[in-house]
């Protein structure tokens, strides 16, 4: 029996309008009602998904959790209590930022509670606004204002997949700190601390809850979901997942993210 479900948000749980379908909502609530833990496992900030938690009945609930920043933080919903973090150091973030600016690539820097964006395109602004992601501009003069803040991850945005892949290969070779490099949403290459990934955070939370790996279901669509899909007892790719994710998964849904794929998997495998 599955006791813990970890689930990606964008392009997995959320539809094309960045919403949770009624079928997904009902399946998740049924799983939680039978005693399960449903944990959004996202690259985003836990603060940016409070409306989603409210819809699912998980907002401010003790014993329910969010994994944020690709495993960079584990947060209990009650009081948004941060339990663990795996931040990057300032020097590494600045190195990546300087490379990106020199290459004229836009991107995001996530602190524990804020998101700072530089040079977003009109399409990128619309993408963030559709998802209700609050953000602030990076000042043009310096990143020094971030020196004392916990830096969870830095991501670069480019519409060209070949360019994203090239950046993902080149940047880790140009910085001194080992990085965890992943891709997401068909638009981002993401850099985390090497100790942070969705799989490690899933197993860490499962151990806290007394849940065995074979009692975990993980659902995702892109490379930043691979670590949790392979760590879980049942790894699920939604139909719109990348070929690599589908190959790694134990089950591929017949539905895509726009047609309640998460509900399909929960109803098939996790409900009594």
User: pLDDT digit of tens for each residue in the chain (272 aa)?
Assistant: 999 999 999 999 999 999 999 999 999 999 999 999 999 999 999 999 999 999 999 999 999 999 999 999 999 999 999 999 999 999 999 999 999 999 999 999 999 999 999 999 898 988 888 888 889 999 877 899 999 999 999 999 999 999 999 999 999 999 989 999 999 988 999 999 999 999 999 999 999 999 999 999 999 999 999 999 999 999 999 999 999 999 999 999 999 999 999 999 999 999 98
Write out the H or E segment, with its range, that includes residue 190: strand 188-193
Give me the CATH code for the 90-193 domain, please: 3.30.1240.10
Q: Is 103 helix (H, G, I), strand (E, B) or coil?
A: coil
CATH superfamily placement of domain 4-85+196-269: HAD superfamily/HAD-like (3.40.50.1000)
Write out the H or E segment, with its range, that includes residue 85: strand 81-85
**The dihedral sign for the CA sequence 250, 256, 262, 267:** negative
In the chain, what are the domain boundaries? Answer: 4-85+196-269, 90-193
pLDDT of 260 reads 98
Do the Cβ atoms of 91 and 97 come closer than 8 Å? no
Q: Which of 43, 47, 51, 88 lies closest to 178 in space, CA to CA?
A: 88
Name residue, tokens 């990128």. Answer: 124
Neighbouring residues of 27: CB distance < 8 A, sequence distance ≥ 6 = 260, 262, 263, 266, 267, 271
Write out the H or E segment, with its range, that includes residue 181: strand 179-184
Do the Cβ atoms of 228 and 6 come closer than 8 Å? yes
* Distance, CA of 260 to CA of 50 (rounded, Å): 20
pLDDT of 141 reads 72
């Amino acid at each position: 029996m599955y006791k813990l479900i970890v689930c990606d948000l964008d392009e997995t749980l959320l539809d094309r309008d960045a919403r949770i379908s009624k079928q997904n909502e009902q399946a998740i609530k049924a799983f939680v009602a039978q005693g399960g833990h449903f944990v959004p496992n996202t690259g985003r900030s836990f603060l940016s998904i409070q409306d989603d938690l409210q819809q699912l009945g998980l907002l401010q609930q003790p014993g329910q959790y969010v994994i944020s920043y690709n495993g960079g933080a584990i947060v209990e919903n009650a009081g948004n209590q941060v339990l663990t973090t795996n931040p990057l150091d300032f020097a590494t973030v600045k190195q990546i930022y300087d490379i990106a600016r020199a290459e004229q690539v836009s991107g995001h820097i996530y602190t524990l509670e804020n998101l700072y964006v530089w040079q977003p395109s009109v399409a990128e602004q619309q993408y963030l606004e559709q998802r209700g992601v609050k953000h602030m501009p990076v000042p043009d003069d310096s990143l020094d204002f971030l020196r004392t803040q916990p830096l969870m991850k830095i991501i670069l945005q480019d519409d060209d997949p070949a360019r994203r892949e090239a950046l993902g290969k080149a940047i880790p070779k140009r910085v001194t700190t080992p990085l965890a490099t992943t891709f997401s949403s068909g638009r981002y290459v993401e850099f985390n601390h090497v100790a942070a990934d969705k799989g490690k955070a899933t197993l860490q939370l499962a151990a806290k809850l007394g849940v065995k790996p074979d009692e975990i279901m993980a659902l995702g669509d892109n490379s930043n979901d691979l670590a949790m899909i392979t760590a879980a007892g049942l790894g699920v790719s939604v139909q719109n997942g990348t070929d690599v994710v589908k190959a790694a998964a134990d089950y591929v849904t017949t539905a895509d993210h726009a047609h309640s794929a998460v509900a399909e998997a929960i109803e098939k495998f996790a409900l009594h």
